Amino acid sequence: MKQLRFAKDFTKLNDDSFSTLRPRGKFEVGDDVMVGRPSHDPRQGKVTFIFSRVIDEIPSEFLAHDTDTSNRDEAIAVLRSFYPDLKTSDIWDIVRVKYTGPPDAATIADNIRVDCYMAILARMQQENPDAHFEIITRRDVSSPLSPSWHLLMQAKNEDMSFEEYGKLLLAEIKQRPTALALMQELYELARKQTVFLVCMEKDPGQCHRSLVKKWMMDLARNDGTRS
């Protein structure tokens, strides 16, 4: 099996399929490949399509996407950092790979993001049009993953540590079948796309959305079908 290694953890590699730039002839359609990234276990895939072009003729958006850069000049510079003798007149392959093995837990954890909060929701939705945004704040929405009003007021009005708040919230959520079902649903969705958990607090470390992410991962680890 051929190896397809990456020096960076590109976000695009978390999708069901992705494309990458490689010198011509390294891969063929139908090749089984093992995709390696620095912070993840290898994942198996298959080459489904190859598009060969002189680098000068490859559209800028393809070059930028596949090198995780913002323009053609940056893309060429990145390629030259790996291939010092690169000439833009060289013919290269745009290789599309479809994953054939399930994503590992680290990939799914990366796909569950907690860096969005309500004040920046509109901007984040514009920047991530293919992502799913799950609003779990108590305000203006009824989510089974939000705290009860009673617990929320307790946390705001009493001297309660975040750890204690988390324990009480988890006890509430465990009593809600809809909450457990939603966490499982969101976890499965994160196998295929980015999922943002959205609440009010700017700092995710002081917001229950970080706890919900942890519980989602714990729930998956305790279920043999979602390891």
Spans of all domains in the chain: 2-101, 106-226
Q: 2-101: which CATH architecture? A: Roll (3.10)
What is the per-residue pLDDT for 97?
95
> Is residue 203 pLDDT above 60, yes or no?
yes
What is the per-residue pLDDT for 140?
57
Q: Return the higher-pLDDT residue of 14 and 127.
A: 127
> Is residue 224 pLDDT above 60, yes or no?
no
Helix, strand or coil, per DSSP, at residue 52: strand
Q: Return the higher-pLDDT residue of 7 and 96.
A: 96
Helix, strand or coil, per DSSP, at residue 136: coil
**Which residues lie across from 2 on neighbouring strands?**
33
Note the pLDDT tens digit of each residue in 75-89.
999 999 989 999 989
C-alpha 128/C-alpha 121 separation (Å) is: 10
What is the per-residue pLDDT for 141?
63
Strands 40-54 and 91-99: antiparallel
Residues near 43 by Cβ (< 8 Å), separated by ≥ 6?
A: 34, 35, 99, 101, 103, 104, 107
Give the C-alpha distances (Å, rounded to integers) separating 130 from 14, 18, 126, 133.
13, 14, 9, 10
pLDDT band of residue 74 (cuts 50, 70, 90) is very high
Q: With residue 2 as reference, give the H or E element that holds it.
A: strand 2-5
Amino acid at 27: F
Burial-class residue 213 by CB neighbours within 10 Å (0-12, 13-18, 19+). Answer: buried
Averaged pLDDT for residues 16-38:
91
Q: Counting every residue, how long is the chain?
A: 227
Note the pLDDT tens digit of each residue in 123-181.
999 988 889 999 998 765 679 999 998 898 888 887 788 999 999 999 999 999 999 99
What is the per-residue pLDDT for 72?
92
Average pLDDT of the chain to the nearest whole number: 88
What is the per-residue pLDDT for 12?
76
> Is residue 227 pLDDT above 60, yes or no?
no
Amino acid at 178: T
Contact predicate 212/199, CB 8 Å: no
Q: Return the higher-pLDDT residue of 113 and 15.
A: 113
Note the pLDDT tens digit of each residue in 55-70.
999 999 889 888 888 8
C-alpha 22/C-alpha 115 separation (Å) is: 33
